[in-house]
Amino acid sequence: MRGNRRSFLKKTAWMGLGAAFVGSASGCRSLGLGGLGLRGQAAAVGLRGKPLNTVQVGVIGLGKRGPRAVQIYAGLPGVEVTALADLYLDRAKNQQKWVKEQGKPDAEVFGGSEDAWKKLCESDKVDLVHVATPWLLHTPMALYAMRCGKHAVVEVPAAVTVDECWELVETSEATQRHCMMLENCCYGENEMFALMLCRKGVLGDLVHGEGAYLHDLAGSKFAKNGNQGMWRLNFSKAHTGNPYPMHGMGPICQYMNINRGDTFDYLSSISSNQFGLTQYATEKFGKNSPEARETYRLGDMNTTVIRTRNGRTIMVQHNTTNPRPYSRINTITGTRGTLTDYPLRVALAPKAHEWMKDEELASLKAKYVHPLWDKNGAAAKKSGGHGGMDYLLLLRLCHCLHNGLPLDISVYDTALWSSVVELSECSVLKRGASVDFPDFTRGAWKTAEPLGIVEVG
């Protein structure tokens, strides 16, 4: 399976979007893949939107992630939060009140019904729709926003099926509107330091990367007042594979110029059995409780290995069940050295048998600090939001929209990274058999311009 959508092999497992937004994974189903996009080519490579003097932002979803986005946008120059939407009207009104208290223009509020978000997308006061809702709503909301003539940015993951990934690509191409997954970890301080080492050739030719999302979330999955409708726990009941690969994998893709000179070829994925959720439920609710007797499909540890067309490899792991310190691993190895994180360490030839001393590492970081962090790091850390990476993500996004520049994470990146969700499950269900990736760029990855050392201002 190489080339375009028509040739994509029908061999993946997933639910339909209409199945109560929960779904059931019982085997690899056939994907209803249609034809090419409207233009039959990668018409959104290097997409440049019309420059916006003021970026008018509408935020959908004001539970956990949305309010932080509102706060960051409200503090950025040339940006206005003009619309707010949530299923619960009081959430939207609370954010509206906060915006007014900051002396900002009033924001229009939509809420109290399941389709209130559509009114936000239709508003002529919105240029950019920011989606911060449960996973299974990401794609339909982004699609509607683009069809309403708005740029769409979507929390992680942007899609959970390959069909959805294609819909995002083809709709972005047809409407010429941006669709970007908000992978904030690409803007982490250590990730951008690693990117500088890669861009400057310090690590040599890149060979292998390792990323992960290792985060004990068992308690929050069962919290009745946690994820709305307990959607994350429901996902763990319905699916295996790696449902959340982007935090560790996204930065590695940028190191390796994936979709910009290289792309994914195939993956193989295996999962451990599920142990932790049952154990947690038994200890928390009792061995005869409905929670303890429930079937959870998501294996505690998933390991997915990806091979690229140019012969590089990437390992991505997911474990949100077992007690262990948080880690994204963030390892990149080249022919001249290795960087790995948690904690940050670097080893360079000819002294690669040992990690750099603290003083050497500090000197290297100072020499290769990324300009986004060098010029905006203090403001980012003051703003907060995952150590400042949320701030830099939205700062850079709005800078690109102001100036009509291509976004750092394209719709093709958004689709390719998100496709791992379904493809990893397909491989797990086939005992680790390799599964090919579709080429969302239809060959344009071969000539697409690499992401440079970007700045703002």
pLDDT band at residue 41 using 50, 70 and 90 as cut-offs: low
Please name the residue that has the structure tokens 């080249």.
Answer: 334
For 312, phi then psi, to 5°, come to: -85, 165
Q: Which range has highest mean pLDDT (19-23, 31-35, 141-145)?
A: 141-145
Share of the chain above pLDDT 70, in %: 91
**315, two tokens:** 């390992």
DSSP H or E run through 250: helix 246-255
Task: Indicate whether 399 belongs to any domain.
Answer: no
Task: Indicate whether 191 belongs to any domain.
Answer: yes
Task: Indicate whether 205 belongs to any domain.
Answer: yes
Task: Indicate whether 31 belongs to any domain.
Answer: no
Question: What is the count of structural domains for the chain?
Answer: 1
Task: Indicate whether 192 belongs to any domain.
Answer: yes
Q: What is the pLDDT of residue 392?
A: 98
Q: Report yes or no: 175 and 147 within 8 Å, Cβ to Cβ.
A: yes
Lowest mean pLDDT among 223-227, 372-376, 443-447: 223-227
pLDDT band at residue 253 using 50, 70 and 90 as cut-offs: very high
Task: Indicate whether 143 belongs to any domain.
Answer: no
List Cβ<8 Å contacts ≥24 apart for 64-71: 64/132, 64/227, 65/132, 65/155, 66/95, 66/130, 66/132, 67/95, 67/98, 68/385, 68/390, 69/130, 69/132, 69/390, 69/394, 70/95, 70/98, 70/99, 71/98
181-237 residue pLDDT tens: 999 999 999 999 999 999 999 999 999 999 999 999 999 999 988 788 899 999 999
pTM above the 0.85 mark?
Answer: yes
Residue 283: domain span: 186-373+412-446
Query: How is the beta sheet containing 79-86 ordered, strand by strand?
Result: 108-111, 79-86, 55-60, 128-131, 151-154, 179-181
In the 8-state DSSP scheme, what is residue 416? Answer: H
CATH of the domain at 343: 3.30.360.10
Q: Report yes or no: 161 and 370 within 8 Å, Cβ to Cβ.
A: no
296-336 residue pLDDT tens: 999 999 999 999 999 999 999 999 999 999 999 999 999 99
Give the whole-angstrom CA distance, residue 146 versus residue 171. 7
Give the whole-angstrom CA distance, residue 256 versus residue 204. 12
Helix, strand, or coil (residue 261): coil
Q: What is the pLDDT of residue 457?
A: 79
Task: Indicate whether 127 belongs to any domain.
Answer: no
Task: Indicate whether 99 belongs to any domain.
Answer: no
Give the whole-angstrom CA distance, residue 313 versus residue 331. 12
Interacting residues of 72 by C-beta distance below 8 A, sequence separation 6+: 383, 385, 390, 391, 394
**Residue 50 amino acid letter:** K
CA 184-187-193 angle, to 5 degrees, is 150
Strands 179-181 and 151-154: parallel
Query: Quick one: 20 exposed, middle or buried, by C-beta within 10 A (0-12, 13-18, 19+)?
Result: exposed
